[in-house]
């Protein structure tokens, strides 16, 4: 089966990939669960709740339940490509403003380049 979307990490001017770096800091089992959820989106887009939710504007989130916490990966769809903008462990009900603002800033950077 061919994926509907390709997946890329957002890269900064210096070439850093913040979501990839964040994933590397997580436990292997957490990384695998998040990876499976991203893969589900890649092969099943468009998807809705409980796995995917629209956040704001062009920003969507992959909602992952880990063993004792919740992870979110904020992304945008651009020409059949899922670009992973930001990932974080969720500590409160609503997506914290700083997390969303960081994703928005990365989206602006991305769009400024393309």
Whether residue 71 has pLDDT greater than 80: yes
Q: What pLDDT is attached to residue 113?
A: 59
- For every residue of 38-104, which 3-state class applies, written as one string? HHHHHHHCCCCCCCEEEEECCEEEEEEECCCCEEEEEEEEECCEEEEEEEEEECCCCCCHHHHHHHH
Listed in sequence order, the residues at least 6 apart from 32 whose beta carbon sits closer than 8 Å to its beta carbon are: none
What domains are there in the chain, each with its CATH number? Answer: 6-113 (3.30.2310.20)
Q: What is the dihedral of CA 56, 93, 11, 14, to 10 degrees?
A: 120
| pLDDT of res. 5 | 98
pTM for the whole structure? 0.95
Kindly indicate the confidence band of residue 93, based on its pLDDT and cuts at 50, 70 and 90.
Answer: confident
Q: What is the pLDDT of residue 94?
A: 85
Average pLDDT of span 75-90: 97
pLDDT digits (tens, 9 = 90+) for 17-27: 999 999 999 99
Q: State the average pLDDT for the chain.
A: 95
Burial of 54 per CB tally in 10 Å (0-12, 13-18, 19+)? exposed
């Amino acid at each position: 089966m061919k994926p509907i979307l390709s997946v890329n990490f957002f890269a900064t001017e210096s070439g850093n990939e913040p979501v990839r770096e964040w994933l590397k800091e997580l436990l292997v089992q957490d990384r695998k669960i998040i990876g499976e959820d991203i893969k589900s989106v890649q092969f099943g887009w468009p998807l809705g709740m409980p796995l995917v939710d629209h956040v704001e504007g062009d920003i969507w989130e992959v909602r992952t339940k880990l063993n004792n916490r919740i992870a979110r990966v904020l992304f945008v769809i651009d020409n059949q490509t899922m670009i992973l903008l930001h990932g974080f462990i969720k500590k409160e009900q609503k997506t914290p403003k700083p997390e969303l603002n960081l994703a928005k800033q990365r989206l602006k950077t991305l769009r400024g380049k393309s």
